[in-house]
Amino acid sequence: MNDSLIFATEGFGLNLNLFETNILNLAVVVFGLYKFLPNFLGSMLERRRSAILQDLKDAEDRLEDAAISLNQAKKDLASAEQKAGKIRNDCKERAEAIRLESEKRTVEEMARIKQGAASDLNLEAARVSGQLRREAARLAIEKALSSLSNSLDDKAQDKFLRQSIKNIGDI
């Protein structure tokens, strides 16, 4: 039996042999971890912490920029909607003005055409009336001359012609 086991009872005991238990190796490893690990892990963790904090700050800055851009876009959209509404109203007013102007010109053109037609009708009526008067006068003169030539002798016709020529000269 091994005398370095103290209180060895059935399967469990304390081994105090330093070379057998590797306590020295463990002590060196624990000391190395205690001495070098905080610097190594600490610097790695600090770099990682700094990178995470910088990423968070960048994300917050981008979020703030995005919020500002969103507010500006909302303002621009509201302004564009307002301008679009104004343009729409202006277009409606302009279309109504054009329609009214077109109707006014159409009415004026129709009145001018009607007046021209009435004027043409009056001119044609006056021309026909004048032509009818001339034709009636010619027929009346022919009838009068034919009835005069049958009812008047040569002496009376001569006297009538002289008197008519004299009347025409007095006019």
pLDDT of residue 14: 64
pLDDT tens digits, the chain, 171 residues: what are they? 445 545 555 666 666 666 666 777 788 888 888 887 777 777 888 899 999 999 999 999 999 999 999 999 999 999 999 999 999 999 999 999 999 999 999 999 999 999 988 888 888 888 998 898 888 888 877 887 777 666 667 777 778 778 878 777 665
pLDDT of residue 81: 95
- Quickly list H helices, the chain: 18-21, 23-151, 154-170
pLDDT of residue 11: 64
Q: Residue holding tokens 């009145």? A: 111
In whole angstroms, what is the distance from residue 171 CA to residue 162 CA? 14
Residue 130 exposure: Cα atoms within 13 Å on the Cβ side: 6
pLDDT of residue 71: 96
158: closest CA among 168, 143, 148, 170? 148
Q: Is the dihedral of CA 64, 66, 71, 75 positive or negative?
A: positive
The token pair at 87 is: 């343009």
In whole angstroms, what is the distance from residue 35 CA to residue 29 CA? 10
pLDDT of residue 1: 45
The residues spanned by each domain of the chain are 5-154
Q: What are phi and psi of 13, to 5 degrees?
A: -170, 175
DSSP 118: H
